[in-house]
Structure 1
Amino acid sequence: MPSEQMESVEDRLNQIQAILPSLGEQLLELQTGDLGVLTKSNTFDLLTKADTASEAQLVAFIQENFADDVILAEEGSVASDAQEAGERFLWILDPIDGTTNYANGLPVWAISIGLMQDSEMVGGIVCAPGMGLCYRAVAGAGATCNDRSISVNKKASMSEGIIATGFPYDRAKRAEPICRALENMLRQAGGIRRLGAASLDFCFLADGRYAGYYEIGLKPWDFAAGSLIAREAGAKVTDLSGKSLDIFNSAGVVATNSMIHGELMQAAQPMIRAAEL
């Protein structure tokens, strides 16, 4: 990345990261009160007043400080021209990734902020206030957690490590192939986890906690920041067929420490069928 572009990315991430401690404290306080929980298009897809409050603050900050930038966010701040942003910076926001966890009092949720330019992810922050973790990456400059450099683990097989996954909201109609893939993981993986927050799945792969992660049904805001953080930590991130990941169009993702990528892709093959249903 050219130095001028990197400076612009770093400046944007530095400025928005500075407001995250305060925002995190507000969200932790809201979590203990009446969240006004609603469901969106699917019974299992929740929305709380904290989601909208978090998004409103992030969007207002970007609009005030980077007025020419484009914003794509989960809870309504959607840019119709997001995929055509070109040289303009595109912010891809998930105000609370893991809303179901958040609404049920669990600490496993995060504020996910991705930054794209010229159709490439160039920066990302995933902040988990309930766990005191803040992950960050700039393209070509590596990844950190709480300002400490991180990297993927060196597990040579699935049996040596933990594999993470997630389930789509419309999981009932896809249950058979999802369960077939899960059976493969039960037979081959050293451990299986389902956190319910894709951004943190990528980050836990990035800092060596997981050996691999797979999922279908993700939206751009679910994995824009996390996928960059994982790659900058040494992970291999592809779609289900092994091709380059397109955050706007890929049906599913496979991310690993690179050493077990082929093994996990093979075990996750039933997910291709699940994505087609």
Structure 2
Amino acid sequence: MDSAELILTHLEALYHAIVQAVTTDSSAAWGELGQNAKGDQVKWFDLAADRAVCAYLEQQFPCPVTLLSEEGEPRSFGRGEPEWTMVLDPVDGSDNFSRGLAPAGTAVALIPAGLPVAVDTVEFALVGSLYRSQVWRAARGKGAWRDGHRLRSSATTRLAEAVINCDVAGATVQPALAEVLAQARSVRSFGATTIVLANVADGSLEAHLDLRGQLTAENFLGPGLIIREAGGIITGPQGESLPPLQSLTDCYSLIVAANHELHAILLQHLNIVSGDESVIARP
């Protein structure tokens, strides 16, 4: 087993530890819970997952690592200087998961220690479904895979043939975005960014739009590498590269597409320019 496969095998084992923790524990054991670093209400399964993650990184992960997650300040595991920065969202789609709704997922990104935390620096990534035994993973320059099958994102370039996911909760859809959604073949809003982005990578969806400026990096860093390795593109709302993370409370907007041609069409239709408020606005 080469070093890349070793790392990816451990990321998958970490995902399985999270699944076991959130599907076998119960809320009764955790009592009163507070808020995380982003100000969101902590749920029992967040803490159950975090406990499982800490145990795995301390006892089984093969390299010293610094963990960044919404559950608290950066934490280091293993002996010696950290070799990796791990950005983790153990339960994305937590509103879905708390109601027993799919999808919900886990996302992990590994970045060499000392490098900026950004989509451009992610070396290894994994996304796993919390409801289905389904795993997407990627290594930079070596491709993306789902359950052992090489991924290629959709070749669809016509908006009229595209199935698009769009998150608009807490915002008002303005005419430019409404027109894009009206022209699409179909529109979804699944409520779990990590799984949606993995679905763009595997060809199940053609695009994902979230223009609210509310996404945090743990949702998209890992999926971003998987998308790129599958042939897709992930950018900010003006087609720009996503800037490096300064804090897990930093917020982003995304335009994600299965290919560059469709991405260009989305940008053209949305006609987003700096300071434009015509696409989406908070009420």
Structure 2 match to 1:265: 267
From 210, 219, 230, the counterpart of 1:222: 219
TM-score (normalizing by structure 1)? 0.81
Which structure dedicates a bigger proportion of its chain to helix? 1
Q: CA deviation at 1:13?
A: 2.3
For the Cα contact (< 8 Å) 1:212–1:255, is it kept in 2? yes
Question: What number of residue pairs does the alignment pair up?
Answer: 261
- What's the CA shift for 1:220? 1.3
Q: What RMSD over aligned residues (CA atoms) do the two structures have, in Å? A: 3.3
The answer to whether the aligner puts 1:241 opposite 2:242 as a matched pair is no
Aligned to 1:25: 20
The aligned residue for residue 68 of structure 1 is 64
CA distance in 2, matches of 1:189, 1:141: 32
Distance 1:250 1:21, change over 3 A: closer
Measure the CA separation in 1 of the matches of 2:45 and 2:20. Answer: 12
Aligned residue number for residue 150 of structure 2: 149
> What is the alpha-carbon distance in structure 1 between the residues aligned to residue 110 and residue 217 of structure 2?
11
3-state SS, counterpart of residue 164 of structure 1: strand
Does 1:183 find its partner at 2:178? Answer: yes
Q: Shift of the alpha carbon at 1:128?
A: 0.4
Identity of aligned residues (%): 23
* Structure 2 segments unaligned to the other structure (5+ residues): none
For each residue in 1:192-223, what CA deviation from the matched residue of structure 2 results, as whole angstroms up to 9, or x when unmatched? 11111111111000010111112132111111
Counterpart selection for 1:104 from 96, 99, 102: 99
> For structure 1, which segment, 16-25 or 221-230, has the greater mean C-alpha deviation from structure 2 after superposition?
16-25
2:174–2:281: 8 Å Cα contact kept in structure 1?
A: no
Distance 1:26 1:91 in 2: 19
Q: Which residue of 1 aligns with 2:53?
A: 58
Displacement of 1:161 in angstroms is 1.4
Indicate conservation of the 8 Å contact 1:37/1:49, yes or no.
no
Change (3 A) 1:7 1:31: same
